[in-house]
Amino acid sequence: MMKLVIINYGSGNLHSVHKSFETVNQSLGNPYEILVSSSANEISQSDKIVLPGVGAFGECKNALMSYDGLLTSLEDVVINKKIPFMGICVGMQLLADQSSEFEINEGLKWIPGEVVKLDSNKNFPIPHMGWNEIEFIDHPLFSDCSQKSDFYFVHSYYFKLQSKDNLLATTKYPNELTAAVIKDNIFGTQFHPEKSHSNGMKVIKNFLNWRP
């Protein structure tokens, strides 16, 4: 049986992420054993990785670094062994070079770009919170999804990519923002698939089926 590890580094919404992946996994006939873990050993033996994330960038980065060997095994399986990886919300933002949330914090530098604050505007409250439409580039990770379908977002910062090559989906609030990123085996979403009802379940299913 294949192993999927949801990285547990103290992020608040693990329960929702775990439950949504379990539900989709069951609908596919349980191809994966799903583990919620912070163990470097489990990570190094996994076939797919999910990095959730809620809260501030710096806190998340520090939490990720506080587990012995976690980052080293994560980089080994994702960068060297190229196993499929999915980052959600701050878990996606962590892939950037750096973030300016509160103070400058370095990211994992897996995808070039930086995390910056959304432009403030009276008619567009921040956080960008709620259901918004996305437009995506044709890709197996958005298989069965319709263009302009709604996903749940909640964020005040966004991933400003250096290269369009890594842009997989966008949303508008009011300017165009990164909604999903891609680089080889690395996938990330600014929206929360685990909170996006049936559309989110499709993306989770596509990730479980994904063979980059």
Site residues for other proteins per CB under 8 A: 12-16, 19-20, 23, 54-56, 59, 120, 122, 124-133, 150, 152, 154-156, 172-173, 192, 194-197, 200-201
Provide, rounded to whole angstroms, the least separation between the CB of residue 21 and other proteins.
Answer: 11
Return the number of the residue (41 or 100) whose C-beta is nearest other proteins: 100
Q: Which of 18, 60, 89, 114 is catalytic?
A: 89
Q: Which of 60, 114, 128, 194 is catalytic?
A: 194
Return the number of the residue (83 or 145) whose C-beta is nearest other proteins: 145
Return the number of the residue (18 or 183) whose C-beta is nearest other proteins: 18
Q: For tokens 């710096």, what's the residue?
A: 58
Return the number of the residue (140 or 174) whose C-beta is nearest other proteins: 174
Residue 194 a catalytic site member: yes
Rounded Cα distance, 64 and 77, in Å: 16
Residue type at 3 in one-letter notation: K
Provide, rounded to whole angstroms, the least separation between the CB of residue 130 and other proteins.
Answer: 5
Return the number of the residue (16 or 98) whose C-beta is nearest other proteins: 16
Q: Is the dihedral of CA 129, 135, 164, 187 positive or negative?
A: positive
Provide, rounded to whole angstroms, the least separation between the CB of residue 119 and other proteins.
Answer: 11
Provide, rounded to whole angstroms, the least separation between the CB of residue 7 and other proteins.
Answer: 16
Q: Please name which of 154, 160, 180 lies closest in space to residue 169, comparing C-alpha atoms.
A: 180
Q: What are phi and psi of 189, to 5 degrees?
A: -125, 140
Helix (H, G, I), strand (E, B), or coil: what is residue 65? helix
Provide, rounded to whole angstroms, the least separation between the CB of residue 159 and other proteins.
Answer: 16
Q: Please name which of 83, 29, 96 lies closest in space to residue 212, comparing C-alpha atoms.
A: 83
Q: Let me know: does 154 contact 127? Beta carbons within 8 Å.
A: yes
Q: Which residues 6+ apart lie within 8 Å of 44 measured at CB? A: 73, 76, 77
With vertex at residue 8, the alpha carbon angle to CA 207 and CA 188, rounded to the nearest 5 degrees, is 35
Catalytic residues: 89, 192, 194
